[in-house]
Chain A
Amino acid sequence: MSDVVHPVPVTTEPRGVRFLVILLVLSLVAVLLLAPLAAVFSEALADGLPAALQALAQPDARSAIGLTLLVAVITVPLNAAVGIAAAWAIARFDFRGKAFLVTLIDLPFSVSPVVAGLALVLLFGSNSTLGGWLITHDMRIVFALPGIILATLFVTFPFVARELIPVMIEQGRAEEEAALTLGASGWRAFRTVTLPNIRWALLYGVLLCNARAMGEFGAVAVVSGKIRGETTTMPIMVEMLYNEYLATAAFSLAAALALLALVTLALKSLLEWRHADLLAATRRH
């Protein structure tokens, strides 16, 4: 019982001020985050749930959902693997150009997605040498699936590495070096020592990466070609439907996209709740 201490007030402001500040933050959250989400769902259900579900069952909407999931399934594991490798290299080794590599990883955060998309069009479009050659050999990059995947890879590149680098630097090399001196192979040391230590950060990075991969609009819009049922991802389909005055269909698809994001967030919360004690031991931010 000696642990029980009387709570020490950390602020000296009067109750009224604290209450006001809390109220301000809560109303900001309500206006900025909850209200738009609620508006999307209420618009989607404006004509009732059957109408919303029917809109989602349209072939174009179904293929948009399928394409978005396919893009996420391809890009998220790729970026997770590359992100782990990059974080490992940066946290565990000292080499020339390390600072440059870190900056490079951050590049997609600072470059507007539209610029990323246009860069792909410049590289692989029919007006470039490379693009012209690829097209005459029947390999389409822009205005086809590979372009969408490349654009998504670019914008989601930093998420995993950015989550892992601080965690791995903080943990240091000691545990892995111990494993290696005890005779573990590099792969085994990674699996049994590194991975358990970084799994929460990794999970968090993967979830963020996934949310962005499914939600990316700007870069994908430039390279999509907007061929219905073929190269329209969910965010692009949402915009097209909205521009065609099909509000119910547009907001149903937007709600479905929001739901996919909410499911990932719920999954994350569930895992955190299930492994709360483990989490407290390993995650320090």
Chain B
Amino acid sequence: MPRSQTTAGTPFHRRAILALIAAGLAATTAPGARAQEEVQILNVSYDPTREFYREYNAWFADWWQAEGNGRLTLRQSHGGSGGQARAVIDGLEASVVTLALSADIDAIATRTGKIPEDWQSRLAHNSAPYTSTIVFLVRDGNPKGITDWGDLVAEDVEVITPNPKTSGGARWNFLAAWAWALDAYGGDEAQARDYMAQLFANVPVLDTGARGATNTFAQRGLGDVLLAWENEAFLALEEQGENAFDIVVPSISMLAEPPVTVVDGNITSNAQREAAFAYLRQLYSPEAQALAVRHHYRAWDTSKVPQDELDRFPQLTRISIDEFGGWAEAQPRFFGDGGIFDQIYEGR
């Protein structure tokens, strides 16, 4: 082989590699190119739903094809709810969002216009296919005999809850306690404040987030009772073993409704729109509801839930955030600067 040919071969070779890299990048950056053949749905969700949506996605893909539709690829993203909403606002191409708070979806709607303002009325139950509530996680055997909110202000009880100023979960905890106190004292707000002051006098440390509070309670062994999401409490139980803790369900707590919706502005085809809405509607099907229960959420339709799984969820009165005038009203009143939490915490 003449020498000139080998030297001429080098730049060609290099160009081929560059072309390969470019093609590789193009393949990953242009999901739309394949959208004509198969439908893709990206579900942008929050942290604790991972196992649920893994199973639901598998179930829905089968159901979708059984209905005579084309190939469907389901992609999944998880993170903190607020951060996930921010990513969608910054251009993460979510087809559907399944987040922790309606305020996070509202933020996407108002900042991008990719979701209509009335999104929450598009699906049943305020677009919340599964719900949760705030419960108590206590040490194994419940040594302090805690059964309801009233027991938390006993002198020898230490309560672990994060700081409502920084943690979304902690705000739910606060409002749940407030709702019980209002009910217990016949709507007397002064007495409710006294109760809250006593409660927070029993809180030795305010962590900044729910995960930190869980660690304080579970790993560092601090406190007698942790105020936590019911689904997170079950996860902690699974992780640490059934013998580490008990779950105590109070008589009154909050109704948390993690909402879902389609991000209309990111939908590129009719087939994708159809699949996205079907994906969310089927969350209300008996099969999906049973899956949600298995992953520690409370469901609306329990017809396909085995009785022993249902027994894990004792009945209680759950107060919706709407009774506090929604988050738009409750946030400044309770947790704004100089709000009820500040007054109570400073007056300890």
Specify which chain B residues have a CB less than 8 angstroms from the CB of A131 in the assembled complex.
91
Contact residues, B8-59 vs A (CB, 8 A)? 21, 25, 28-33, 42, 47-48, 50-51
Q: Are B47 and A240 in contact (CB under 8 A)?
A: yes
- Report the Cα distance A228→B76, complex, angstroms: 6
Q: Are A245 and B91 in contact (CB under 8 A)?
A: no
- Report the Cα distance A141→B90, complex, angstroms: 11
In angstroms, how far is the closest chain B Cβ from the Cβ of A241? 9
Q: Are B91 and A226 in contact (CB under 8 A)?
A: no
- Report the Cα distance A135→B89, complex, angstroms: 13
> Does A211 sit at the interface, judged by CB under 8 A?
no
Chain A 21-35, CB-CB to B under 8 Å as 1, else 0, gives 000000000000000
Contact residues, B76-102 vs A (CB, 8 A)? 76-79, 84, 87, 89-93
Specify which chain A residues have a CB less than 8 angstroms from the CB of B255 in the assembled complex.
none
Q: Are B77 and A227 in contact (CB under 8 A)?
A: yes
In angstroms, how far is the closest chain B Cβ from the Cβ of A13? 41
Q: Are A138 and B235 in contact (CB under 8 A)?
A: no
Specify which chain A residues have a CB less than 8 angstroms from the CB of B87 in the assembled complex.
143, 225-226
Q: Are B47 and A146 in contact (CB under 8 A)?
A: no
> Does B211 sit at the interface, judged by CB under 8 A?
yes
- Report the Cα distance A140→B29, complex, angstroms: 5
The majority secondary structure among interface residues of chain A is loop
Q: Are A245 and B28 in contact (CB under 8 A)?
A: no
- Report the Cα distance A229→B47, complex, angstroms: 15
- Report the Cα distance A227→B87, complex, angstroms: 11
Q: Are B29 and A146 in contact (CB under 8 A)?
A: yes
Q: Are B90 and A245 in contact (CB under 8 A)?
A: no
In angstroms, how far is the closest chain A Cβ from the Cβ of B228? 12
Specify which chain B residues have a CB less than 8 angstroms from the CB of A227 in the assembled complex.
42, 75-77
The majority secondary structure among interface residues of chain B is helix
Specify which chain B residues have a CB less than 8 angstroms from the CB of A228 in the assembled complex.
50, 75-78
Specify which chain A residues have a CB less than 8 angstroms from the CB of B42 in the assembled complex.
227
**Contact partner, A240, options B30, B31, B79, B89, Cβ 8 Å:** B79
**Contact partner, A226, options B21, B32, B77, B239, Cβ 8 Å:** B77
> Does A142 sit at the interface, judged by CB under 8 A?
yes
Specify which chain B residues have a CB less than 8 angstroms from the CB of A246 in the assembled complex.
239
- Report the Cα distance A246→B92, complex, angstroms: 26
Q: Are A126 and B235 in contact (CB under 8 A)?
A: no
Q: Are B77 and A245 in contact (CB under 8 A)?
A: no
Q: Taking A138-B30, A138-B32 as contacts, is the C-beta distance between A240 and B236 under 8 angstroms?
A: no
Q: Are B47 and A121 in contact (CB under 8 A)?
A: no
> Does B189 sit at the interface, judged by CB under 8 A?
no
- Report the Cα distance A282→B90, complex, angstroms: 50
- Report the Cα distance A126→B48, complex, angstroms: 27
> Does B238 sit at the interface, judged by CB under 8 A?
yes
Chain A 225-248, CB-CB to B under 8 Å as 1, else 0, gives 111111100000000100111110
Specify which chain A residues have a CB less than 8 angstroms from the CB of B90 in the assembled complex.
121, 125-127, 142-143
- Report the Cα distance A145→B23, complex, angstroms: 13
* 7 residue pairs, one from A and one from B, having the closest CB atoms: A126-B91, A125-B90, A245-B239, A143-B92, A227-B77, A138-B32, A138-B30
28 contacts between A and B (CB under 8 A): A74-B21, A125-B90, A125-B91, A126-B112, A127-B89, A127-B90, A127-B91, A131-B91, A138-B31, A140-B30, A140-B31, A140-B91, A142-B91, A142-B92, A143-B91, A146-B29, A225-B87, A226-B77, A226-B79, A227-B77, A228-B75, A228-B78, A240-B78, A245-B236, A245-B238, A245-B239, A246-B239, A247-B239
Residues of chain A having any CB pair with chain B under 8 Å: 74, 121, 124-127, 131, 135, 138-146, 225-231, 240, 243-247
Residues of chain B having any CB pair with chain A under 8 Å: 21, 25, 28-33, 42, 47-48, 50-51, 75-79, 84, 87, 89-93, 112, 211, 235-236, 238-239
